[in-house]
Structure 1
Amino acid sequence: MVAQEVEINVRVFKAVPEEERDYRPHPKSMSALELARHISLEDVWFLQAVIDGQFGPMPPQGEDSEVTSVADAIGLYNEKMPALMEQVKSLSGEQLTQEVSLLGIFNLPAIGFLSFMIRHSVHHRGQLSTYLRPMGSKVPQIYGGSADNPMELPNS
């Protein structure tokens, strides 16, 4: 399931025109780049915490971040997510049920943070996908077709 969500995130990231990366629909909204940065960095952070059994420091989210473009967000996913997902698959049941603290805010079994990560990612990806048409882009298929990219059904 994580791999499917990562693939969908990359589709949405690729739909963001780099020249529109600073687009935000409202002054209080994150920009398209800030959302892509947040999603990619936090997904890596969550998976690493599940593997390590503890959360490290939150990744930098500003201009000092390793993600300074939407292409960087895609690159980070391509570079880190496959290996992290494989490591998660190799964890024992005991490791997955170990309680992990999210920076002292709340505790969940490690496997609970996989679910939390997916919901967090989907939430912010939904925000980002609503930016695409106003930026002049097309909405890719997410869980099925979109008005811009309809799903083709096999002939019955």
Structure 2
Amino acid sequence: MTMIKALLTELEKEAQTTRKMLERIPDAKFQWQPHTKSMTLLNLATHIAELPGWITTTLTTDELDLAEVPYVAPVLNSTEELMTLFEDKLKEGKSQLEEANEERFNDTWILREGNQVYSSDTKAEVLRMVYCQIVHHRAQLGVYLRLLDVPIPGSYGPSADEVSF
């Protein structure tokens, strides 16, 4: 199996779980946050929905300079809009992976803000980090949903909300 095929397979499996998590977010709780230092539910969910778009950024550029391209969050007013954002970014990321040249996976990709370099890794390493970020932030979302008493879907098997004890 090629690295691209493996990444596409994993992306689809993680997307199935991510969909189940995102679709459970109650619109009325978008501004809720568990702590003042935590992101709001909407900010966290938006970040998760946008992460597959980092596949495109990684594969089509050699760096992202946040001083030149500052982040602007999309305006989302419903879980339906959040799901549309996720599906669009997922489709875009898959398309870029399908067209990718594996030989370029060893090229360096840099994340910076002006002269401040946050990371300098191979594109392959950045792609793996993107996948890890999806799982990491999805786990955070699970905690948020648990605290809001929203049933949690299983990720790699059934959740406590899906089995009887």
1:59 to 64, 71, 74: 71
Deviation at 1:72, TM superposition (A): 2.2
Moved over 6 A (4+): none
What amino acid is the match of 1:79? Answer: D
Q: Which residue of 1 aligns with 2:132?
A: 119
Q: Distance in 2 between matches of 1:118 and 1:47?
A: 9
Distance of 1:42 and 1:149 partners within structure 2: 27
Aligned-residue CA RMSD (Å): 2.0
**C-alpha contact (below 8 Å) 1:24/1:32 kept by paired residues:** yes
Q: Show the counterpart of 1:97.
A: 106
2:147 alignment partner, SS class: coil
Q: 1:127: how far off?
A: 0.9
> CA deviation digits over 1:9-45, x for unaligned, max 9?
111111111112222111211121110011222331x
Please, what TM-score do these two structures have when normalized by structure 1? 0.82
Contact kept, 8 Å, 2:51 with 2:89, in 1: the verdict is no
Identity %: 23
Choose the corresponding residue for 1:42, options 47, 51, 62: 51
- Number of corresponding residues: 147
SS at match of 2:57: helix
Relative distance call for 1:76 and 1:33 in structure 2 (3 A) is same
1:30 counterpart residue number: 39
Preserved contact between residue 132 and residue 138 of structure 1 (Cα < 8 Å): yes
- Structure 1 unaligned segments of length 5 or more: list them: 152-156
Preserved CA contact (<8 Å) 2:62 2:110: yes
- Matched residue, 1:129: 142
2:123 to 110, 114, 117: 110
1:149 maps onto 2:162 in alignment: yes
Output the TM-score relative to the length of structure 2: 0.78
Q: Name the counterpart of 1:139.
A: 152
Structure 2 gap segments, 5+ residues each? 1-9
Distance in 2 separating the partners of 1:83 and 1:37: 16
TM-superposed CA distance for 1:136, in Å, is 2.7
- The one-letter code of the counterpart of 1:73 is L
Aligned to 2:91: 82
In 2, are the aligned partners of 1:12 and 1:125 still within 8 Å (CA)?
A: yes
Corresponding residue of 2:27 = 18
